[in-house]
Structure 1
Amino acid sequence: MKILFVAAFLGVILYNLGAGLYYMLVDKGTSKRTVNALTRRIVFSIVLIGLVVVGIATGVVEPHGVGV
């Protein structure tokens, strides 16, 4: 379930990244769609990182100690 949740978030993040690229190529700087898509990508990335931190703090997610 956790992997599905993270995969869904990553899918939304990648979609917004692709939408930003598409709007950048199509609009030629005439609209704010590129900025909006990339802003949503950043917000979703921050939310995902926050959820991982909260999951670790509450014990739902256990870090496996890479780099220790």
Structure 2
Amino acid sequence: MKRILILCLPLALLAGCLEVDQHPNWVHGMYAGKKDDRPFLRHFHNDKLSWWGTISNRNMNQNEYNRANP
């Protein structure tokens, strides 16, 4: 039993060593990464109303009560 504990001790000590730091870089209190584009900026040329219309139509098509036509 003592031998198993001695063999497992280095494994337990090294278990957290492969943790990678996942925090963004900050320079002078500001985020130094790439600015993320909003979906309406990239695909709809900054037209929010068109983007919301597309999202609403997609959501209506996912509703089984609207698609079934009883």
Would you call these one fold, judging by a TM-score over 0.5? Answer: no
Larger Rg: 2
TM-score (norm 2): 0.30
Query: Which protein is richer in helix relative to its size?
Result: 1
**Higher relative CO (CA 8 A, sep ≥ 6), structure 1 or 2?**
1
